[in-house]
A and B are shown apart, each in its own frame.
Chain A
Amino acid sequence: MPTSASTSTNRPEVLISLLRSESKEVKVKSLRELKNQIIGNRTKKLSYIKLGAVPKILEILSSSDDSESSILIQSAATIGSFACGVDVGVKAVLDSGAFPHLIRLLSHLDDKVVDAGARSLKMIYQSKLAPKYDFHKDGNMAFLLSLLNSENENVTELGASIITHSCETSAEQKVLCEAGALSRLLILLKGSLNQREASLDSLAAMTESNSEVISKFVGLDSGRALNSLTELLKDRYPRTRLLASVCLIVIGHTSPNYLQDIGIKTKLIMILIELLEEPGRVGDEVPFALANLIADKEDLQQLAFEINALDKLCSFLHNDTIHTKRLKGILLAIAELCSRLENCRARFMSMQALNLVTNALTHDCAEVRSAACICMRSVTRSVKNLSAGHFLDDMIVTPLVQLLHDQCTLVQVTALKTICNIVVDVTNRKSVFIQCGGLKELVLLSKSMDSTLRLNSVWALRNLMFLAESNNKERIVSEITASTLTSLVCDPEPSIQEQALALVRNLVDGGISSIEHVFVEGGIIINAVGRQVRNASKSEVCIQGIYILGNIATGSESHKEAVMHQLLQEAPSVLLKFLKCSDARLRVAAIWCVVNLTYPGGPGSSVRVARLRDSGIISQIKSMVNDSCLDAKFRVRTALEQCKPVLGCLGVKLSATNEQDHF
């Protein structure tokens, strides 16, 4: 039997049995020992939770009266420690019904008991698992304000933690604001270090996306409240600087007019970049704040780039022992920096940082893998590098393709979005991707039950098909199969229908042999396309469908005939409906069809013109010579020109389509 490490240490089972002792002294002693065993020690917490220690301790807490201060202190502290850092622990504490008993301690006469109760409650509220505090419930707001107004620091911090944890909706922000929480938080901002940090967290929660609360805050303290925040940017404590920055970022996102000064923006970026060096929690959280600050703001991205943010961020990628959370944040911040600016992407490539991000694709943590994908997706927006074929490389493609069967759906989706960009490649290196097994994986995912996976895999297939050489088209089509393609065209999700149709559109782009692909197996594909064109309610779906038919109409006589059949089989025809449609994009697409169907020279062209005339198409087109859309107007003239018989041969080929990114 193993001996314990220290003679004074009791085994968990023994210790738990000692808790039941009649002697108060033994009880306090064993509670304290248990507390000392679990503080800072995840493993021990888990094993005690398994042994059912939490409800036993709660029983002691709830059955002790106010005179037993030391039992109250030790049991509350132990419960608080169970709720610290371990989700299972928070759950066990909540399940045991600890809340009312800990709250009872807040009104105890002994300050030490109050401290213990407040600290434990604070621990619980720092967890996402804690139940939301209902600000609207009778008496709750008054109680919360009494916490914020308390003389006891731990109690005021608890009040702030409750706000940080539970204030989410604008209604909650408003009711808190009306109750005076905002001005109280502003006072705490001038309190001790701990109060200041708790208050900054709460202020961020209360002002998030709420311009009304923000303007109220800005007006506080005769208009000096915002100044108090900016002053804290100079604070000597790194965490305070970070939290003040986060608050200002939140305010700036919703009410940019308060953060217009370029000076303050530059300052924020500089502070955050400087804080990247901080060890521990601060340094781990900084990259997220930076990413948030520059998200979707090209001017700030440029500013950050100019003060070397990219170099600094990339330098962390060289560090092998970097904390997982920090690595994730850094990848996301790089992703934001490179999301729009080509000069950032160029610098990124020149620093050879791509290899480092590629390494992160195989990281143990799913969130890091996903962040690495997002980062790579930003970088691969670079048309210049795409055209140079820099991304279709075994070293990059292989790990990305691996991620397509990742256990985590989020990773699969972000990998798909990156692949969407990479396969756009126009340098005839698409076979690299196919040889790495990427095509097989995409096709597999296009049959997934998860609609997001389906959507993004079809999107990637569409881009892979974009301007693909005919042998690659062959491989793609035979891998997908006509029947899968047909069912994707008829997918229940309109967005997937649209991508599947765009995929077919890229397939038929490129000569008669390409067009033949949609006529296999009794024409199931073209029939599906026709059905969608006639029945779909979403314009984007119809547009893709008509362009497919327009492209097919550049083919042989029988191809044109098939298109006529799809477009004119109802009366009034779907073609007429689109020509009369208010959506100019649909009108232009429909006129393209007419142009290609009436292209003179073929043996059947005059017959087709006659049929179009019979179904009212030509007279409709005549009425469109002054169409408000210039493009439509121009095509209408061509179509009318062609309806007079002249010599000619082929139709006009319509462009293929790719949409590189999901902005």
Chain B
Amino acid sequence: MSMFRVFISHLTDIETMTTSKKVITREEWEKKLNDVKIRKEDMNKLVMNFLVTEGYVEAAERFKMESGTEPDIDLATITDRMAVKKAVQCGNVEDAIEKVNDLNPEILDTNPQLFFHLQQQRLIELIRNGKVEEALEFAQEELAPRGEENQSFLEELERTVALLAFEDVSNCPVGELLDISQRLKTASEVNAAILTSQSHEKDPKLPSLLKMLIWAQNQLDEKAAYPRINDLSTAILEDPAV
């Protein structure tokens, strides 16, 4: 975080120098940026945090070897977590549930909402595969009791079962449940729960740093014209429009 504090203090310097909108040339800007010192280890830690949180286990192992950066979590657990995530993404929800339970049985036992969403996803997959009878039985046996325990689960269950009532599900009001994005949503919910159970933050730090960069640029836009970063993927400084 230190990098940003320094960065922002530079920006405030600029602010106090100008009364109207000031133009800062590329040279001036780059000179100022050069004065900001960033520690390499901090960068490495941010990268490691990204790899670990996003689950790039092999890359993290290589990165650990090559950069000497210690991950803040046991890398073996990442493999397990990614296997769970992948299983949900592929529609093998039952397999995912078993894997989560092997990892830590507390997760689904103490998180009824997540458990319900996984079971709901299982139901969605049965419906997707046209196993109507099995889907109905599953809804009745596994999901209906959860609906009795919680009003909002019941509503979600009703919405899901409604999929069975339409011939053309792609065009029905609840069709979005069959969307791949529903799988991804469920997968990321499980991923977050596993990370939390491991006392790990569920989001990587890098995106928040970029969000702060955008915010800081927006603040500065009101006061100055300067070389802006518009494309985050290249981080190219673009000349100020004068």
Q: Which residue numbers of A lie inside 8 Å of B, CB to CB?
A: 2-3, 5-6, 8, 32, 35-36, 39-43, 77, 80-81, 84-85, 119, 123, 153, 192-195, 280, 321
Contacts and interface: CB of A to CB of B under 8 A. Distances in A.
Given A77-B105, A84-B110, 10 more contacts: A5-B137, A5-B138, A8-B94, A35-B105, A39-B97, A40-B108, A80-B106, A192-B199, A193-B200, A280-B113
26 contacts: A5-B138, A5-B141, A6-B138, A32-B102, A36-B98, A36-B101, A39-B101, A40-B108, A40-B112, A41-B115, A41-B145, A42-B149, A43-B145, A80-B105, A80-B106, A81-B105, A84-B106, A84-B109, A123-B106, A123-B109, A153-B199, A192-B199, A194-B199, A280-B113, A321-B151, A321-B152
Contacts of A43: 145
User: Which of A39, A40, A84 has the most CB atoms of chain B within a 10 A radius of its CB?
Assistant: A40
A42 B145 contact: yes
B137 A2 contact: yes
A1 B101 CA distance: 30
A40 B137 contact: no
A322 to B, nearest CB: 9
A195 B145 CA distance: 33
Nearest to A112: B102
Interface in B73-118: 94, 97-98, 101-102, 104-106, 108-113, 115
Contacts of A8: 94
B238 interface: no
Interface in B40-96: 94
B134 A5 contact: yes
Interface in B107-147: 108-113, 115, 134, 137-138, 141-142, 145
Nearest to B197: A194
Contacts of A3: 137
Nearest 8 CB-CB pairs, A to B? A192-B199, A40-B115, A193-B199, A5-B138, A40-B108, A43-B145, A84-B109, A77-B105
Contacts of A41: 115, 142, 145
Contacts of B110: 84-85
A280 to B, nearest CB: 7
A77 B145 CA distance: 23
B218 interface: no
Contacts of B104: 119
Report whether over half of chain A's contact residues are helix, strand or loop; otherwise say mixed: helix
Contacts of A40: 108-109, 111-112, 115
Interface of B: 94, 97-98, 101-102, 104-106, 108-113, 115, 134, 137-138, 141-142, 145, 149, 151-152, 196-197, 199-200
B196 A81 contact: no
A32 B112 contact: no
Contacts of B106: 80, 84, 119, 123
A657 to B, nearest CB: 47
Nearest to B115: A40
Contacts of B197: 194
A39 B118 CA distance: 12
A32 to B, nearest CB: 7
A193 B97 CA distance: 24
A118 to B, nearest CB: 11
A3 B108 CA distance: 26
Contacts of B112: 40
Contacts of A195: 199
Contacts of A280: 113
Given A39-B101, A39-B105, A321-B152, A193 B196 contact: yes
Nearest to A8: B94
A43 B147 CA distance: 12
A32 B106 CA distance: 15
A142 B134 CA distance: 54
A349 to B, nearest CB: 30
A42 B101 CA distance: 16
A153 B110 CA distance: 18
B105 A119 contact: yes
B97 A36 contact: yes
Contacts of A77: 101, 105
A81 B94 CA distance: 18
Nearest to B152: A321
A280 B189 CA distance: 15
A635 B124 CA distance: 86
Contacts of A85: 109-110
Nearest to B100: A39
Nearest to A153: B199
B161 to A, nearest CB: 14
Contacts of B152: 321
A36 B113 CA distance: 17
A355 B101 CA distance: 46
A84 B196 CA distance: 19
B192 to A, nearest CB: 13
Contacts of A2: 137
A526 B190 CA distance: 75
A5 B199 CA distance: 35
